[in-house]
Amino acid sequence: MRVIKGWKDLMARDRGAAVALGNFDGVHRGHQKVIALAAQAARANGAPLGVISFDPHPRQIFAPDAPAFRLMRPGQQARALDGLGVDLFYVLPFDQEMAGLTDHDFAQKVLHEGLGVSHVAVGFDISFGKGRTGSPATMKDYGQALGFGVSVAAAVADDSGEKYSSTAVRDALREGHPEAAAAILGRPFAIEGVVQRGRQLGRQLGFPTANVQVDDYVQPRFGVYATRTRLPDGRQVPGVANIGVNPTVGEVAPVLEVWLFDFNEDLYDQTIETDLITFLRPEQKFSGLEAMVEQIGRDASEARKILMPDF
């Protein structure tokens, strides 16, 4: 998969794709339906399969003071799209020029003239262009006028009729329901980051942790989780993690602190990715370190039972 940043002056090999258009934060099952429609058109047209997204996310521009909301970092999004067979990942700068384009100008200047798309697949609820005036219906009109096909993905829902959406994933995580988030995503929600040097208190207490800043991720419910962590070499290691501010030893910025079971290798300055599997309990402030250590031991035993039932 090639990642293409921008939409102007592209080489011929990077034009003419059948594309899926959206933000695709999370690349959840609803997003996958849109991409599948684009893939169907790509096969029919003999065209490459493309995905169009934006950086920064428009929400960061229009609501800069809103709470952190991202479900993926760019590398995670690229890997997920690559796994779906995407050939071209267009990352379009959401700058003042882009924000000022009308829906017609976006279709003509970006999709038609810039990318030369052969087909555009969109979700049933898409809006685009200045003032979010563009819709699936207007995209079909522009496609007919400009010479590219358009397909619209219907809503994808669970057995209860609840529509899959990035908002539903965020709500599930904020409420401490990682299993519900995983059902929408089609895989566990994962936090990726560089392991930082902390106070190394966990190592002194017998449970060394790998600490990763949560940063701009949506903030999951503070508490303790059973986890699986992917290491740079591809190994997956079960563990137990706390997400929060660690009130017992002095509050810090929200951080993921994961204790990898039966693991004693140096991970400092390496990038790891930790899946949240099951929420075990809320974060709490203990009367002292001894009480905290005892509870962490119980948390670890519970996590092992979930992740390693034959242990």
pLDDT tens per residue across span 289-301: 888 889 999 999 9
CATH class as words, domain 178-307:
mainly beta
- Over residues 208-232, mean pLDDT: 94
The arrangement of secondary structure in 2-153, i.e. its CATH architecture, is: 3-Layer(aba) Sandwich (3.40)
Lowest mean pLDDT among 95-104, 135-144, 240-249, 298-307: 240-249
| Cα–Cα distance, 296 to 298 (Å, whole number) | 5
**Cα 183 from chain centroid (whole Å):** 14
The ranges assigned to domains in the chain are: 2-153, 178-307
pLDDT of 311: 58
CA neighbours within 13 Å on the CB side: how many for 301? Answer: 6
β-strand 271-282 against 255-260: which pairing, if any?
A: unpaired
pLDDT of 290: 82
149: Cβ contacts below 8 Å, ≥ 6 apart: 18, 41, 45, 118, 119, 120, 143
β-strand 223-230 against 271-282: which pairing, if any?
A: antiparallel
- pTM score of the predicted model: 0.91
Q: What percent of the chain has pLDDT over 70?
A: 95
Highest mean pLDDT: which range of 67-71, 73-77, 174-178:
174-178
| Cα–Cα distance, 128 to 254 (Å, whole number) | 34
Q: How confident is the model at residue 141 (pLDDT cuts 50, 70, 90)?
A: very high
Statement: residue 9 has pLDDT above 80: yes
126 Rama sector, left if φ>0, alpha if ψ -120 to 50, beta otherwise: beta
Q: How confident is the model at residue 121 (pLDDT cuts 50, 70, 90)?
A: very high
Highest mean pLDDT: which range of 105-114, 213-222, 245-254:
105-114
* Cβ pair 272, 241 in contact under 8 A: no
- CA neighbor of 130 nearest in space, from 31, 202, 62: 62
Q: How confident is the model at residue 201 (pLDDT cuts 50, 70, 90)?
A: low
250: Cβ contacts below 8 Å, ≥ 6 apart: none
Highest mean pLDDT: which range of 35-39, 62-66, 130-134, 160-164:
35-39
pLDDT of 200: 64
- Over residues 172-184, mean pLDDT: 97
Residue 232: asked if its preceding bond is cis (omega within 30°), the reply is no
Q: pLDDT tens digit string along 227-270?
A: 999 999 999 999 999 999 877 666 677 899 999 999 989 999 99
Residue tagged 């090999």 (tokens): 13
pLDDT of 173: 98
pLDDT of 157: 84
